[in-house]
Structure 1
Amino acid sequence: MTDIAAPSAPARKRGLTAVDERIYRAVVSAVMSHRLPPGTRLGEADFCALYDVSRTTVRKALQRLAHDHIIELRPNRGAVVASPTPKEARDVFAARRALEREIVPLVVRRATPSSLQAIRAAIDAEEAARHGADRAAWIRLGGEFHLLLAELAGNAVLQRFMAELVSRCSLIIALYENPGTPMCGNHDHHDLLTLIENGDADKAVDLIEHHLLEIEARLHLGDQDRKVNLAEALGER
């Protein structure tokens, strides 16, 4: 499994206050948990009323959400939950596969006991979220696993590109994977770790490509149209 990760980066480091961060994380969680479907309009006035804050505070959170591709800020319509088209989804996953084909051999080449331990810890965190039935955290941690690989590859440019692609892929997964899909064990991540430990870069590349293709194949892309109560979706009522 992969997700919006990128959204896991501490929001306060990017200039958000505690209230801004609360709004930001509430929206991310609601999108990841399928409570806010694509195309849902997010009115500034609704947030102001829900959190008893100014429009300036709300706009800071919305700008951060737009930066992470969770929402789109559209002229004359305001903020809406992002709605990637099927073509955009395929393009994002194609770019992701191309990037990870370059990242994985670098991780294998640079593997150390400490980097292998970091990978194990990331897999353990995913498993904990799965056993706790926390789908939003599971998607987020799946994305963080791949971001960790990019970091361990030691190429800052690849890492920067991965941050955007993981964010967008995680959003696509959260929006278009069937909510009833069981949270399966991360066998591919475990197997990838074994291949990295064994120094088998070729098989590791084949596995990561298969892993991403399998994720993409599970998606049900299409338009969704239903009314949403923002307070209920954000868990504020």
Structure 2
Amino acid sequence: MPKSTPPSSTRTSSSARPARRAPPPRQRTPAPPVDDTAGEGDSADSTDVEARIYRAVFDSVMSQRLKPGTKLPEAPLCELFKVSRSVVRKVLQKLAHDHIVQLRPNRGAIVAVPTREETRQIFEARRALEASIVRLVAERATARDLKGLREQLRAEHEAMHRFDQPAWARLASAYHLRLAELSGNPILQRYLQEIVSRCSLIVAVHQPPGNAACEHDEHERIVDCIAKGDAEGAVKLMDQHLRELEEHLMLVSPGDEKSLAKLLGLG
């Protein structure tokens, strides 16, 4: 029975095995959060989430709550919308593509700040675009379209008399976008949406606080021309309207800083 020694050695080695096997408990837990690489970005409704964030920023720019130069840090946006950084970055890239924000390497995103030369070019393009739009609307607008335009003008007028500047600015921009929609040309509509959003940034930089970006009476006179089918009259009034807006803009410093939630209309 000389072979009785091995069991003892086998026992010793097997008793040592558990100590060797014991892994360091959860050493990888401090790894980067999964939230940054997964989550909404891969989910079925990611498009809806991105559209909601895009619309919140876009509407806040249009209503001039978000001023040019306002920082849009990723972390607060993630917290406000309960999304991952990958989703926020995707939205910021789209906003940058549409010239609503500027992405600065290693410094994050800010609301775009148009230069004076860009201002001149944008208004030049807008005059040409809106001349084509009102001409088409004068030819194609129905009685129902005109009724909708007049209702929109009433809402604009009420906001003006309430001294509700954000609503007034948003409705003034919406008037021009509605005309583009009524032109029946989706290409013109898409280009005007980009130009109007860039004009809202220009107005936010240059327009004295409390002043109207667009004169309500001028909007009404353009609709009167459209109702009469006077395409040339509508074109002339629109050109004059946009030239006056460009001429009366003046440089002012950006407004006081507020919380990002408040600027996005979420707080």
TM-score by length of 2: 0.70
- Find out whether 1:159 has 2:189 as its counterpart: yes
1:103-161 deviation digits (Å, cap 9, x = unpaired): 21211111321221122122122223223333222222212211221222222322222
- Find out whether 1:135 has 2:165 as its counterpart: yes
Alignment of 1:69-108 (within 5 A): 69-108=99-138
Deviation at 1:221, TM superposition (A): 3.8
Deviation at 1:58, TM superposition (A): 2.8
How many residue pairs get aligned? The number is: 223
Q: Are the aligned partners of 1:130 and 1:185 in contact in 2 as well (CA < 8 Å)?
A: no
Deviation at 1:94, TM superposition (A): 0.6
- Find out whether 1:15 has 2:15 as its counterpart: no
Deviation at 1:229, TM superposition (A): 5.1
Is there any run of 5+ residues in structure 2 with no aligned partner, and where? Answer: 1-44
Report the AA paired with residue 199 of structure 1.
Answer: G
In structure 2, do the counterparts of structure 1 residues 196 and 63 end up closer, same or farther at CA, with 3 Å as the change threshold? same
Report the AA paired with residue 15 of structure 1.
Answer: T
Structure-1 residue corresponding to 2:142 = 112
| SS of residue matched to 1:107 | helix
1:173 aligned to 197, 200, 203, which one? 203
TM-score by length of 1: 0.78
In structure 2, do the counterparts of structure 1 residues 129 and 24 end up closer, same or farther at CA, with 3 Å as the change threshold? farther
Structure-2 residue corresponding to 1:148 = 178
- Find out whether 1:191 has 2:245 as its counterpart: no
Alignment of 1:44-55 (within 5 A): 44-49=74-79, 53-55=83-85
1:121 aligned to 151, 169, 175, which one? 151
- Find out whether 1:214 has 2:244 as its counterpart: yes
In 1: Cα distance, 2:146 partner to 2:46 partner = 29
In structure 2, do the counterparts of structure 1 residues 15 and 95 end up closer, same or farther at CA, with 3 Å as the change threshold? same
Deviation at 1:45, TM superposition (A): 2.2
Deviation at 1:86, TM superposition (A): 0.7
Deviation at 1:178, TM superposition (A): 1.1
| Stretch moving more, 96-105 or 50-59 | 50-59
Q: Tell me which of the two structures has the higher relative contact order, counting C-alpha pairs closer than 8 angstroms and 6 or more residues apart.
A: 1
In 1: Cα distance, 2:64 partner to 2:192 partner = 24
Structure-1 residue corresponding to 2:24 = none
In 2: Cα distance, 1:137 partner to 1:166 partner = 16
Q: Are the aligned partners of 1:32 and 1:135 in contact in 2 as well (CA < 8 Å)?
A: no
| SS of residue matched to 2:187 | helix
Deviation at 1:79, TM superposition (A): 0.6
In 2: Cα distance, 1:235 partner to 1:157 partner = 30
